[in-house]
Chain A
Amino acid sequence: MKRASGPNEVLIIIPAFNEEAAIATVIQDVRSVMQTAPVLVIDDASIDTTCAQAVSAGADVLRLPHHLGLGGCVQAGYKLAFELGYGYVIRVDGDGQHDPRDIPRILETLQKTGYQMVIGSRFNDGATAHTSFARAMGIRLFRLVLRPILGKQVRDPTSGFVGVNREALSVFTKSFPLEYPEIETLVVLQRRRFQFQEIPVKMRPRQAGRSSITAAKSLYYLVHVLLGVFVNVLKFEGRRWRK
């Protein structure tokens, strides 16, 4: 993978952990839509053939030496993208839930609005989505909690289908939530007075594997994320970053 040749270049990152069944298809789908953009898979120390599948599908692979979890994995991709000079990064999940045909709209919105983050939302325009009852309830709760903190409505705070610009990258290379990062990321952005926008996207059922958030982990997830949100609200470092 080469250095970005200009400030408007985009990198597609795909964090992956044991996604051997879906990763090659995801990469091919992304490449069919974004022919010129490099695709970087961040392999979070998978114990299956995810890495080999990604290489054979034509992606570059950043191999983490041991399992860091989703946040550490995504942040590694952000760090490399920042060091290589990319202006925009679009994150696509490795399980095939995100439709790569939505990537150009996310990128276009990032470039047009100048906002630091664009979120692909499965609920915009009142749409329904493939999601469990428990997750839907959790999303409702997070919406309620985030509304006063962010000062605006966020319909799909758990979406991992996001695009960020270089300003957000520079922040995320230094400060990024390490577990379940999607929701806390919004608060990190808010503390810097950064802006985000949601655009409607279609979510597909995952092509293979299971969600890392099982029923047993749901309660832990809920408490962890809520605590993370409030910790980020209280964090002193935010004041140094205010514009």
Chain B
Amino acid sequence: MDRLLNAMTVLSLVLMAIILFSLRRSHIRVEYSVSWLAASFIILVLSRSHALLAWLAGFLGLTYPPLALVMLVFCVFLVVFYRFSVIISDLKDANIALAQRLAIVEFQLEHSHEKQ
């Protein structure tokens, strides 16, 4: 049990370090780092607090507390992935609208030059 929790602690610290490093290098925008930082912080706290983890496992009706942490990690990542899917969809819509607008403006510009 301790080995699994230790692995989770390392995982959360590595995730945090990667996100902070990416932020510093401007590879990720601050608003999109919040989800990952929050997720890694929750994993870190639960993997270090046996009492909190036992309470969560009891709440979920699980007899093996680390399983609660694994389930939580899974749920957190699902939420983060969903959030990013929404963002990507918005960006794709905006990208298509921009590409169409650019093509139309270029078309009209070319034809206005031809008229002159």
Contacts and interface: CB of A to CB of B under 8 A. Distances in A.
B99 A62 contact: no
A238 B43 CA distance: 42
Nearest to B93: A178
B98 to A, nearest CB: 9
B104 interface: yes
A76 B100 contact: yes
A116 interface: no
Contact of B99 (A65, A80, A83): A65
A63 B106 contact: yes
B11 interface: no
B99 A75 contact: no
Interface of A: 1, 60, 62-66, 68, 72, 75-76, 79-80, 83, 178
A75 B111 CA distance: 20
16 contacts: A1-B111, A60-B107, A63-B103, A63-B107, A64-B100, A66-B99, A68-B100, A72-B99, A75-B100, A76-B99, A76-B100, A76-B103, A76-B104, A79-B104, A80-B104, A178-B96
Interface string B78-105: 0000000000000000001001101110
A36 to B, nearest CB: 18
A81 to B, nearest CB: 10
Nearest to B99: A65
B96 A62 contact: no
Contacts of B107: 1, 60, 62-63, 80
Given A68-B96, A72-B99, A178-B96, A62 B111 contact: no
Nearest to B107: A62
A63 B102 CA distance: 9
B100 A83 contact: no
